Amino acid sequence: MLTKLPSQSLARQRAFFASGKTRDVDFRIVQLKKLKEGIRKYEPEIMAALYDDLRKPPFESYASEIGILYTEIDHAIRNIRSWARSRRVATPLIHFLSRSRIDQQPYGVVLIISPWNYPFQLAMAPLIGAIAAGNCVLIKPSELSPATASIIDKMIREIFPSDYISVFQGEAEATQTLLEEKFDYIFFTGSTAVGRIIMTAAALHLTPVTLELGGKSPCIVHEDARLNYGAKRIAWGKFFNAGQTCIAPDYVLLHRKIKERFVEKMTGMILAFYGENPMKSPDYARIINARHFDRLIRFLKTGRMISGGDYHREELYISPTMIDQVTPDDPVMQEEIFGPILPIIEYDEIDEAIAFVNQRPRPLALYCFSESVKIQDKVLGETSSGGGCINDTVSHVGSQELPFGGIGDSGMGAYHGKPGFDTFSHQRGILIRSNLVDMPLRYPPYRDRVSLLKLLFRIIR
């Protein structure tokens, strides 16, 4: 389905922004409250849509797509006045008798493009930041999760006038149509490949972008890791939403000495979480579609199966799977897995694991399991990633105090909490000059004032 964007619709959003309504912080607070009420009202329909699209277990839907948004909205409402306030800053002596401040200004009309894996949350979380910062918004949800896209559309229509916030549904070509328009900001969540397309299109209009992309997030499990907790937290982070999480541990770098114990604990955890037959578990999601299913099954052709490896195409089901004996050249190690397959690669020295990470594009997340602060600090100090956890996986996404975003191939920019407000605000630096005096020095004709100027710069340094 390709919805035609009436160019008037964008013009109407521009006019709404120009009316100045969104500049009022009270207005923004009211809109955030409306959004929260709307989500609450639509909760059952949202959960049903997520079940339809991904057979997402209700617990996972509530935790990762709904509850997390309430926290984000409440946090924004509590802090918006202080975030939006102009900030007085010092003024250099050379601007004697002036004052300086930084104003937070909304960009204008923002385009939010979201993916299918957390199709509700990844459209709404950036929306919260954009509303808090005073923008108008057009949301383009993913066409691969159509049930959720249509609930988003219905809910947003009911809550907001379309001049302020609207939804534009359609396939990838629809996004391309949108990208021909000039937006004031583009916030994209999706793959690295499409991120490049978005940034190229944005460059033509010089539109600033945030790119929340993917990649292969490593999970280092050191010799001294506390495996009782470690295996549980890795199995949870990997198999939540059937591995279709941008910050799921993509592969494990495991100290060779603890291989047997780790595999045993992981197998035990998978059994404890999903039972003998995970296909029958109400707590285990499905693969989004046949194309992704086929892509994932291809990964099972290399390496050695340690556990799992069952699948059912009609059901779009792949069991929680661990493999080892993979090489860096195998397809499973060449692209982001984004499914319930966990390759294990062994190392002897922590430096090997660090080198392995550093030889690859900078990941969205990095996890390190170790009891030693020295090892934790070494891993953090010698690697780079968008974010991550020590002795846990995925959980950093749920903190409003932590910026969430990638680096290098995993993206640019960040959001959640104040970083979300900042992302959608332009920081406008203003100097207010006093009219009490007017120093003649800076005006032409300059004559022989260079030495005086040099002296001045020396004094005020």
* Residue 101 token pair: 């401040």
Q: Order the strands of the 109-113 sheet from edge to edge.
A: 165-167, 136-140, 109-113, 185-189, 209-212, 411-412
Q: Choose, by CB under 6 A, the member of 214, 303, 343, 403 that binds ligand NAD.
A: 214
Residue 212 annotated in active site: yes
In the block, residue with structure tokens 């306030």 = 85
- How is the chain split among helix, strand and coil, in percent rounded to 5? 50, 20, 35
Verify binding: residue 366, ligand NAD, rule CB under 6 A.
no
Q: Which two tokens stand for residue 213?
A: 């992309």
Please list every residue from 230 through 249 that binds ligand NAD, using CB under 6 A: 246
Which residue in the block uniquely carries the two structure tokens 């979201």? 114
Contact letters (x/-) for ligand NAD, 123-162, by CB under 6 A?
A: -----------------x-xxx------------------
Kindly state whether residue 319 participates in binding ligand NAD, applying the rule CB under 6 A.
no
174 vs 375 by CB, closer to ligand NAD = 174
Q: Report the DSSP pairing between strands 251-255 and 218-221.
A: parallel
Near ligand NAD by CB under 6 A: residue from 184, 212, 250, 422: 212
Q: Considering the rule CB under 6 A, would residue 172 count as an interface residue with ligand NAD?
A: yes
The verdict on whether 368 is a catalytic residue reads no
- Residue 451: half-sphere exposure toward Cβ, Cα within 13 Å: 1
Number of residues forming the site for ligand NAD (CB under 6 A)? 27
> Does 393 participate in binding ligand NAD (rule CB under 6 A)?
no
The residue within the footprint of ligand NAD, chosen from 60, 65, 184, 336 (CB under 6 A), is 336
Catalytic residue among 212, 336, 368, 389: 212
Q: Which residues of 131-153 are buried (b: 16+ CB within 10 A; e: fewer)?
A: bbbbbbbbbbbbbbbbbbbbbbb
Which CA distances in Å does 409 have to 115, 163, 244, 361? 17, 35, 18, 6
Q: Which region among 55-63, 188-196, 299-307, 421-429 touches ligand NAD (by CB under 6 A)?
A: 188-196
Instruction: Return the number of the residue (142 or 166) whose C-beta is nearest ligand NAD.
Output: 142
- Asked if 181 is part of the footprint of ligand NAD (rule: CB under 6 A), the reply reads no
SS3 of 390, please? strand
Contact footprint for ligand NAD (CB under 6 A): 113-117, 122, 140, 142-144, 172, 175-176, 189-191, 194, 197, 212-214, 246, 336, 338, 364, 406, 411
**Residues that are catalytic:** 212, 246
